[in-house]
Chains A and B, each alone.
Chain A
Amino acid sequence: MGKSVLLADDDQLLASLLNFRLKKGGYSVHHSANGKEVKEYLKNEMPDIIVSDIMMPYCSGIELIDYVRNELKSKTPIIIISSAGNEQNVLTAFELGANDFITKPVSPTELLVRIAREINK
């Protein structure tokens, strides 16, 4: 079994596509469509890497980073996906401890490479 990836995105189409690509890349993927599900999942299990959209229902990507770093005290790599042109979000995400940041449109292959890099660090 490969490394586990938590994919948090409320966009079903994109999530499905990334899910497919990551699985094809050898990762074990768990998809959550909103922040509440993500938190529930993280209470029970900590993946090797978290890939999260910044805009999600119930809990944003920024809040998720804060939750993982400050409440769970976990150093799990976090990659944030967001729309382009939101510099403040990027800065905040990095301040809170995000490891990488990818802007939409996303290249699935590029994401795969970044995930691999973060996991292997």
Chain B
Amino acid sequence: MLIPPNQIKISLISAPEFNLEYLWWLTILFFVLAVIYFVGVFVIRNRITSKNSRTKDKKVEFSPMINEFLFYEDSNTKEEKMNYLNLKVQIRELIKNNFDRDVLTEVILDLRKDLSGSSQSVLIDLYQDLGLHNDAYEKLRSGKWQVVSSGILELTTMEVEDSYGLIIKFINHRQSTIRKQAEIAVVNLKEEGIKYFLDNTKYKIAEWQQLKLLDVLRHKPNYTPPQFALWLTSTNTHVVLFSLRLIKYYNQNEAEQSIITLLKHKKREIQAEAIECIKGFHFVNALLTLKLVYTKASHDIKIAILDAIGELGTTAEVPFLENLQLTERNFNIKSKVIGTLNKIDPERILPTKNIATSDFYDVELEDLTPKVENDAVDILEEVPLHDTINEISTEIEIDVEGLKDSTEIVSSDESEELDHQNKETIIEELVDEDLPEEEPIEQEVLLVDSLSKPVTELESKIELEAEPKVQQIDINKVNSIDDIDLSFLPHIKSDDSITENIEATTTKINPVVETEHEEQHKEDLSLNFLPFVVEQTSVEEEILTSEKEDLELAFVLDDVSIQEEQEEKSKLNTNKGPEIMIDEIDWSSVHTNTEEQTEVIIKDADKKEAMISFENDGISFSPNFMRKKELDAMVLLENISELGDCRELILLYQIIEENNSDVVVNRANELIQKFSYQSPRPNELFSNDNDLTNSVFAEVYHLADKETRHMLLDEMMVVGDSKEIELLESILESGSKSLVAKATEVLEHIKTQSALDIETTSTSIDEDSIFNLDFELELNEPAEQKNIEPSENGSTLFDQLCSMSNSLYNKLNG
């Protein structure tokens, strides 16, 4: 229904009525207020200006008078003396006026700041002569804090000593400005002021105030400071803190025990200051307390304590610091601990972080020391040199008395070699009894210790000589085999590396081993020493993983030697006997050969080889042989041990099936057990978060040079799979043109391969994938009972690495 527009009524907003008269009145009111304001400002401004002008004039008037007073001399003429007297009368008349008094006071205070010497003294006397200090006393009675404060300042500036008694009342004034001004005045006016202040102050002494007080004391002429140690017992902690600082400033080192006690103070500032004092005064007795306090100290105090220990400590503090190094979690403190250790015992701890592995420096090392490093060097450096070995400064020569002189590997006769084999067999047996096989890690540690101990304990001298062919070893200081810790042998056995260990201990070594090199080898420590007998090809594989060029093999087998393997074994068994005593070894008779082409030649190839032969209380060493298949398997197992992981389990089971040798089977079982412990769940193994899903080439690639990168890309072409795609894509983004081209090629190849694999693989994998099951491998299941078929392609991580290393080696050797 529509309403006609004429019927719609809208009430309009109506403005209230306003009386215009009010508006006029308001305007007049604001105008008057504005006039009053501006007049007020003008009047006040004029008064201030006129006052300043009057003050200026008065200053100009007073200035010559003061000059006359300041420079009046008895030698003046009569006229000058008369003038002086007139001025005195005149000025006394003038100061009867308050304004004049204030101006005169202001002038004198200004001049006091600019003058020194005798003029200053005269000025101070004039101030008091004119009685201006009485005005300052009046100010002290004022209720306004700013007036009181200015009064104290005036009396302090004009050095009115009589005011001391009045000012000390303000020491504990609740108004901080008055209190601080009074503190400065008390310390300034009288020598004993500092004592009164430290005795009586109840309030906090701010840092800035401490500095000002110290500045006052410092500029006091002929000041003899009191023994500030008296206030170390103050109940006001700020007094204690200030006293400690004064003690340090004035070198008052009498209060040793008090300062040491203050290390246990609850306040950090006092602890820190006490530590500073201890450090400054070299209080060695505080070391024990410092160490006691350390555990409950705060972060800053811990660092201060470590700093103090670094200053005062001796090597006796090293165990404490080493313990801290292990237990301390805070990065800063841990760094400080290491710094302190190195301060006490320089270069005790060497850099370990981000130090590249030895193979990273292969080329450089080769250039620097082309021929010095031989087999023995490598073996020595692979030994995890304990810190103590650093202390061996020169050479260590090991010689076992009573050993047969003629036991040289290079020229030993058949019977001697058999004896060597016998002895080694005995050692192996002993070792087997001593150490359980289930503790491979502990064995490694034992090996580390055992290798370092004999060297240090015997005070031996190792001489590593860079002789081109023969290295001779003298062991003079070992009286019997009992002196030598042979606990390292289990490891040697397990890794088939006894030969090289023996070499390591018997080789005459000239250890000019750079620290850096040593560290690298510590990092690279793998206790996989060379096996008893190694084929050249297998040796080369090992060389490639470490320092290929530097490693010179101790032994190289010719074909004849390998063919005689079985015969040697039988002889070895016939010579085995527990009755042979390993009492005395003539290590000097042991010789090794080194050649540039990583070959070791047994001079007398016709001789029968035996690992250790014993003859007439002597011992000699020579290589031992396994069957080729067995040897291959062992080498493979050792490489798996070093490089492999749970993914090699299938391969290990395969090795067990293919080999009948007990040694191989046992070793394989060990590794199965080891990897079973490490075995992640299959789901985890192939999860995106797991590193194992990443390309094995990635790390090597980033460390490699351009040529090697090309080789790696070739390898990827052959063995790569979808895991390499990410790496290849990154190469496409950042690599050089040739690398990009190569990477593109490889990427396309891998993608094609992956597509083929996906097509050929059954789609049921996803549905019934074994990896979807949540299970773990059984740890103690005998390997023999398992019938797991190896993968068809056998492309495990280890296979890929082996293949890659072979290719690299072949490439490098043309």
Footprint of B on A, CB under 8 Å? 11-14, 16-17, 20-21, 24, 104-110
| Interface residue from B68, B107, B117, B118 paired with A13 (Cβ < 8 Å) | B107
12 further A-B contacts with Cβ under 8 Å, apart from A12-B59, A17-B70, are: A12-B60, A14-B114, A14-B115, A17-B66, A17-B115, A20-B64, A20-B68, A21-B71, A104-B114, A105-B114, A108-B115, A110-B117
Give Cα A93–Cα B429 distance, bound, in whole angstroms. Answer: 90
For the complex formed, measure the closest distance between the CB of B123 and the CB atoms of chain A, giving whole angstroms. 10
Given contacts A12-B60, A16-B64, contact A24 B115 (CB under 8 A): no
Smallest beta-carbon distance A105→chain B, Å: 4
Contacts A104-B114, A106-B114 given; does A13 touch B71 at CB 8 Å = no
> Taking each of B113, B116, B118, B120, which has the highest tally of chain A beta carbons within 10 Å of its own beta carbon?
B116
**Cβ of B562 under 8 Å from chain A:** no
- Inter-subunit contact A107/B114 (CB<8 Å): no
Q: Does B536 contact A (CB under 8 A)?
A: no
CB nearest neighbor in B for A104? B114
Closest to A19 in B: B67
What DSSP secondary structure best describes chain B's contact surface?
Answer: helix
Summed over the interface, the residue pairs from A and B with CB atoms below 8 Å come to a total of: 57
**Shortest distance from the beta carbon of B636 to any chain A beta carbon, whole Å:** 76
B93 within 8 A of A: no
Please tell me if the beta carbons of A17 and B118 are within 8 angstroms of each other in the complex. Answer: no
Flag if A109 contacts B119 (CB, 8 Å). Answer: yes
Instruction: Give 25 pairs: A residue, B residue, CB < 8 Å, sorted on A.
Output: A12-B60, A13-B59, A13-B111, A13-B114, A14-B115, A16-B63, A17-B66, A17-B70, A20-B67, A20-B71, A24-B71, A104-B114, A105-B113, A105-B114, A105-B120, A106-B115, A106-B116, A107-B116, A107-B117, A107-B118, A107-B119, A108-B71, A108-B115, A108-B117, A109-B119
Q: Which residues of A contact B118 (CB under 8 A)?
A: 107, 109
Contacts A16-B67, A24-B71; is A11 near B116 (CB within 8 Å)? no
Nearest CB on B from A120, distance (A): 22
The size class of the interface chain B forms with chain A is: 20 to 34
A105 to B119: give the CA distance in the assembly, Å: 11
Contacts of B110 on A, CB cut-off 8 Å?
13
Return the chain A residue nearest B118 by Cβ. A109
- Chain A CB count within 10 A is highest, among B60, B64, B117, for B117
Give the distance to chain B from A51, nearest Cβ to Cβ, in Å.
14
Given contacts A13-B107, A20-B71, A21-B71, contact A105 B63 (CB under 8 A): no
Identity of the chain A residue whose Cβ is nearest the Cβ of B66 in the assembled complex: A17
A14, B70: Cα distance in complex, Å = 12
**Is there an interface contact between B111 and A14, defined as CB atoms closer than 8 Å?**
yes
Report how far A20 CA is from B70 CA in the complex, Å: 10
Question: A17 contacts which chain B residues (CB < 8 A)?
Answer: 63, 66-67, 70, 111, 114-115, 119
CB of A57 to closest CB in B, whole Å: 16
**Chain A residues near B113 (CB, 8 Å)?**
104-105
For A21, the closest partner residue in chain B by CB is B71
Chain A residue with minimal CB distance to B112? A105
B82 CB to nearest A CB, Å:
17
Distance in angstroms between the alpha carbons of A104 and B115 in the assembled complex = 7
* Residue of A13, A106, A110 ringed by the most chain B CB atoms within 10 A: A13
List residues of chain A with CB within 8 A of the CB of B66.
17
B64: which A residues are within 8 A, CB to CB?
16, 20
The answer for the CA separation of A13 and B63 in the assembled complex, in Å, is 6
Chain B residues contacting A108 (CB-CB under 8 Å) are 70-71, 115, 117, 119
A11 touches B71 (CB 8 A): no
> Min CB distance, A8 to chain B, in Å?
15
The answer on a CB contact under 8 Å between B63 and A109 is no
Smallest CB–CB gap between B121 and chain A, Å? Answer: 11
Nearest CB in chain B: distance from A115 CB, A: 15
**Nearest A residue to B73, CB-CB:** A24
Bound: A107/B59 CA distance, A: 21
